[in-house]
Amino acid sequence: MSTSSTLLFQRLQSLQLTRTKPDTLHPWEQHYVDEVGEEDAESGRIEFMQDKGFYPYFLNGLHSDLTVRDANGREWKVHKLIVTKGCDFFVRALKGGFKESRTNVIEMPNDPPSAVKAMLDLLYSEDYAVITPTRNIRTLKFHLDVWITAVIYDMAGLQEMAYRRFVRLWMSGGCPRFILPLLAERIYDCTMESDEWMRVFVANMSAVHLPGLLLQDDFRQVMADSSEFSADVARALARLQDHAPFPCRDCKNHALESE
């Protein structure tokens, strides 16, 4: 993501999201609402995770034999038996003569610290805590960061959970289309074509709100800079205008499939 986009994202993060009335949703948006469903009230809440699975051992670090250090220098005392069971990245890092197998310290300097914490949360509890449980763009970006981290480390369960939480907050929070250019830039910069869940979503939402988005300089710039994003929006728009079936993830009516 460009420096200017990063700074803009930072300025917007505290902006509160407003609840969307169901009758204001576009049919494609309603499909997403139906797809992700409602979340358990206890899910993502730290007070309900503390006694879940092996989470107490993550919180107290008792008998830990590995340290994970994030970009801020914070160290998480974890257990090889648990983290290697749920993530092949840790398996690879701890074998084959790598430095980490000798030092028992794994550095993760390129990942958002909050997403690293969510990743470890899931390995210990099959859930991750929403650190800032407020209805603002900071929380939306947090779920996106978690999703991207899950894509990078090939954690399908975390990827699915973060996707659903992101879409759920987007749809219930006023569908803030003005940040679509920032989301598109980050998603297309950080993922490959095969990592298409969020690509489908941002392309579909861009097609739905295209008339207004074309008035935004930053949206036109992202379209000009990313041929992949432009092509995906064009495919989604063609489906929309042809009244084609909704391009859901679980059927053949997929927005990013080649015609």
pLDDT in tens, 138-191: 888 899 999 999 999 999 999 999 999 898 888 876 667 788 998 899 899 887
Q: Find how far residue 135's CA is from the centre of its chain.
A: 16
Tokens of 187: 């998603």
* Nearest Cα to Cα of residue 108 among 145, 149, 157: 149
- 146 assigned to some structural domain: no
pLDDT-based confidence at residue 122 (cuts at 50, 70, 90) = very high
Percentage above 70 pLDDT, the chain? 75
Position 18 in a domain: yes
The whole-number average pLDDT for the span 7-29 is 58
Residue 151: inside a domain: no
Give the end-to-end CA distance of the chain in Å, rounded to a whole number: 30
Please check whether residues 167 and 251 belong to one and the same domain: yes
Question: Per the domain annotation, does 140 fall within a domain?
Answer: no
Same domain, 161 and 244: yes
135 pLDDT higher than 90: no
Q: Looking at the domain assignment, is residue 145 inside a domain?
A: no
Element (H, E) at 158: helix 156-172
Q: Between these two residues, 240 and 51, which has the higher pLDDT value? A: 240
For 91, counting Cβ atoms within 10 Å of its Cβ (0-12 exposed, 13-18 middle, 19+ buried), the class is middle
Q: Which of 112, 129, 146 is the last residue of a domain?
A: 129
CATH of the domain at 60: 3.30.710.10
Indicate whether 104 and 169 sit together in one domain: no
Mean pLDDT score of the chain, rounded to an integer? 81
Beta strands in the chain (DSSP E): 66-70, 75-78, 105-108
Residue 66 domain flag = yes
Neighbours of 129 (CB within 10 A): 20
Beta bridge partners of 175: none
Q: Is residue 103 part of a domain?
A: yes
pLDDT digit string, tens, across residues 50-93: 777 788 889 898 999 999 999 999 999 999 999 999 999 999 99
Of 94, 129, 164, the last residue of a domain is: 129
Mean pLDDT of 196-210: 89
- Higher-confidence residue: 80 or 41? 80
Q: Do 52 and 35 lie in a common domain?
A: no
Domain residues for the domain of 68 are 45-129
Asked if residue 171 and residue 250 are part of one domain, the reply reads yes
In this structure, is residue 17 part of a structural domain? yes
Transcribe 6-30 into DSSP letters.
HHHHHHHTTPBPPPPPGGGS-HHHH
Against a cut of 0.75, is the pTM above it?
Answer: yes
Residues 111 and 35 in one domain: no
Q: Which residue has the higher pLDDT, 228 or 252?
A: 228
Q: What are the φ and ψ backbone dihedral angles of 175, each rounded to 5 degrees?
A: 45, 65
Q: How many domains does the chain have?
A: 2
